[in-house]
Amino acid sequence: MSDLLEIPPKQKRQPRPAPTVVVGLPALHLVAGQADRHEAPSQVVVVEPIAVREDLASAMTGIPPETLRAHRKTRTGPPYRKDGATVLYLTRELREWAEALPKVLTA
């Protein structure tokens, strides 16, 4: 049997690392430390959610959650939906509402 050529066992390929999925606006997650700034861009997949809860809507718009609640009561804020007790804002509608706010010019 020593005359036979020994074939080394097949090396297993290392699996590719799964891409990092970042939900929401990339800048928010970088500030919050939820995504590494030094990751290769090809390894980061940014997924913008269709709808966000009040806390992320507040972070996206810069409007405090209390003010968003007051806007809901007076019906002066961005359109929202409810899923049970959870308030949801569509990101598209949040953006449209914020863009429609009057511009304030300063000297």
Residues 6+ apart with CB under 8 A from 26: 35, 44, 46
Confidence of residue 82 (pLDDT cuts 50, 70, 90): very high
The band of 52, judged by pLDDT with boundaries at 50, 70 and 90, is very high
Strand partners, 83: 86
pLDDT tens string 42-51: 567 777 889 9
Whether the per-residue pLDDT at 96 is higher than 70: the answer is yes
Nearest to 93 by CA among 58, 63, 64, 51: 51
- 88: which residues sit within 8 A by CB, 6+ positions away? 51, 52, 53, 80, 81, 82
